[in-house]
Amino acid sequence: MQYPTKDLYDDKMDWIEFTTLLAGIMPDTPLGNVISIRAEDDADTLEHFSEEQHRIRDEWRDKQTQRMIESMNKEEVMKEVYAMFMDMSK
């Protein structure tokens, strides 16, 4: 078994223990697989993603972009949009 025998729902688990367990999740677990899909940036690998893998990655990237936009003020958002269009015009 990948996880320790300790009760994972114990309210007394501290942050260091939690992050240690999280860092040890292998890619062959369902959560590890989703994390791998979300983190993938290699163009060759992305070409071979299934529709479901693309959906998982796109939903994650959309959510991250939305959080970034919500944390920025209007002026910062406009600067980012302007920079994006300038990059596209090159």
Each domain of the chain, given as residue ranges in start order, spans: 31-88
| pLDDT for the residue numbered 54 | 96
pLDDT tier at 1, thresholds 50, 70, 90: very low
DSSP helix/strand/coil, 1:
coil
Span 11-24, mean pLDDT? 81
Q: Which of 15, 18, 40 is nearest to 27 (CA)?
A: 40
pLDDT per position as a tens digit, 24-70: 888 888 888 998 999 999 999 999 999 999 999 999 999 998 888 88
Which residues contact residue 84 at a Cβ distance below 8 angstroms, ignoring those fewer than 6 apart? Answer: none
Which residues contact residue 9 at a Cβ distance below 8 angstroms, ignoring those fewer than 6 apart? Answer: none
Which residues contact residue 8 at a Cβ distance below 8 angstroms, ignoring those fewer than 6 apart? Answer: 21
Span 75-88, mean pLDDT? 88
